[in-house]
Amino acid sequence: MKERENDIFSIGVIAGILLIFAVVDFFARAGSVSAKYGENGLKSPAFNREQYASGEFAREYEAYLKENFRNQAEWKALLTDIRLRMGRKDVGGVYVGREDTYLMRRPAEDITPEMEQKALEALAALVEDREARVMLVPTSDALWGDRLPDFADSYDQKSFLDRAAQAVGQENWVDAWSALSAHEGEEIYYRTDPHWTSLGAYYGYLAWWRDSGKLLPYYYDPNRGETAAEDVRGELYALSGLEMPGEKMWIFSETLRHMPTLLYDTGESREGYYREDLLESAYPYQYFLGEETGFLEVRTGLERTKSLLVIRDSYANCMIPLLAPHYQTIYLADLGLYEGGLEELLQRFGPEEDLEVLVLSSVPGWLENFR
């Protein structure tokens, strides 16, 4: 009974705060609009049935509110706080997790058994036809599951990874789950973005190398990173609008020793792995290799006997600079954006070519290819 009384009291307080904000905002706006816009300013649209039916009234009124509504940031922060206090676990598809961590909401119902079956069959076929190696990376909401809010809905990536390992065989499987979980207390994922960090990709690289047949891993020193930006806020911030502390984005200094040429499927070419012009965008992770594209060719400028085809999602991007010293050319194909599909992609590269194939994708990214 007491708990019910507390809930009623909380609702009453919240309603009172909303009312105060509304009254204050109304009078503040009423006094400021004419001063700001004068007689020629954007005025509230007049209502009529024709405009309402066509949707024009709604568009004009939205534009009016966008121009004239004061204290939008304060309202948004308040409403977000209310949603969370009233039991809403996510904002814009983003969970507010423990330990100052924000995690993507990935409901179990979004992944159907049909998607899982097709995804597993595709992996098995790639191994049989091209002796592909497979590295599916768990996302932060899976590996940092203990940071999710209580009773948060989240797809069981570990179960799918176990089935994928069986489908492709241990000799073709790179166990990213074990590699990352051994370091789960470290900053292996960004806190404001759904991707892994350079450190997480480094542990993934070491797991890949152990069974790669390469003589030695390329040397990278995690203690000598090069700072790309001190205060970034990633995709989770863009999706939710939640107030989040900025975080540092860094790269391995050793990846700057070689300057590759990147050839995009748009015909554009660039030098270097990193795009500083995208650090202040809504998606600062695109600093690694640039904006998403269906096909990308990375010419390392190194004389090597092998080339590599990576079937990937964006998770692969910050690991590519670590893989590059082992190859002359790396081809990157994102099946979600590649127009020809998987079959056409494999026909593009004859089986007789001296080409290694690697599936390097997040678990959700791979499954989404088969929706």
pLDDT on residue 303:
92
Q: Is the dihedral of CA 185, 187, 190, 195 positive or negative?
A: negative
Contact 222, 199 (CB under 8 A): yes
Query: pLDDT tens-digit profile of 190-236?
Result: 999 999 999 999 999 999 999 898 889 999 999 989 999 999 999 99
Tell me the pTM.
Answer: 0.79
- Alpha-carbon torsion angle 286, 290, 292, 293, nearest 10: -170
- Alpha-carbon torsion angle 121, 126, 132, 133, nearest 10: -10
Compute the distance between CA of residue 20 and CA of residue 25 in angstroms, rounded to an integer.
8
Contact 331, 310 (CB under 8 A): yes
pLDDT on residue 354:
81
pLDDT on residue 195:
98
Q: What letter does residue 44 receive in the DSSP assignment?
A: P
For 216, residues 6+ apart whose C-beta sits below 8 A from its C-beta are: none
pLDDT on residue 1:
53
Query: Which string of DSSP letters, residue by residue, matches 178-223?
Result: HHHHTTTTSS-B-SSSSSB-HHHHHHHHHHHHHTT--SSPPP--GG
Domain boundaries, the chain: 2-86, 105-368
pLDDT on residue 180:
98
Rg of the chain in Å (alpha carbons):
25
Compute the distance between CA of residue 342 and CA of residue 123 in angstroms, rounded to an integer.
11
Compute the distance between CA of residue 361 and CA of residue 313 in angstroms, rounded to an integer.
5
Q: Which two tokens stand for residue 211?
A: 């069974």
Spans of the chain, pLDDT less than 50 = 2-3, 28-40, 73, 77-78, 85-87
Q: Which two tokens stand for residue 180?
A: 């990352």
Residue 22, judged by CB atoms within 10 A of its CB (0-12, 13-18, 19+), counts as exposed
Compute the distance between CA of residue 308 and CA of residue 205 in angstroms, rounded to an integer.
14
